[in-house]
């Protein structure tokens, strides 16, 4: 299983040392800047979909997106 933990930059070095010291942790490494940005974008998109399904957000249709181009 993979788990993502959000840790402040100030505590990240210590947290990584602790995680790596645990026998059941197979690997612990920070995300690269590009991967973190992609993760944040995907989370934002998933939140928009959740809000749309609840009727709290109106999303554009595919035609409206094409019209913008």
DSSP 15-52: HHHHHHHSTT-----PPPHHHHHHHHHHHHHHHHHHHH
Give yes or no: residues 35 and 53 share one domain: yes
| SS3 at position 4 | coil
For residue 38, the Cα-to-chain-centroid distance in whole angstroms is 7
Query: What per-residue confidence (pLDDT) applies to 4?
Result: 87
Please determine, for residue 27, whether its predicted confidence score (pLDDT) is greater than 90: no
Same domain, 9 and 35: no
Domain extent for 63: 31-69
Confidence of residue 2 (pLDDT cuts 50, 70, 90): confident
Residues 24, 35, single domain; the answer is: no
Q: Tell me: pLDDT of 23 over 90.
A: yes
End-to-end CA distance of the chain: 41
Q: How far apart are CA 42 and CA 10, in angstroms?
A: 25
Q: Is there a single domain that holds both residue 25 and residue 39?
A: no
């Amino acid at each position: 299983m993979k788990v993502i933990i959000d840790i402040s930059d100030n505590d990240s070095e210590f947290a990584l040392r602790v995680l790596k010291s645990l026998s059941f942790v197979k690997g612990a490494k920070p995300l690269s800047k590009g991967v973190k940005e992609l993760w944040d974008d995907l989370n934002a998109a998933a939140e928009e979909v959740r809000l749309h399904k609840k009727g709290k957000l109106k999303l554009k249709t595919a035609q409206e997106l094409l019209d913008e181009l």
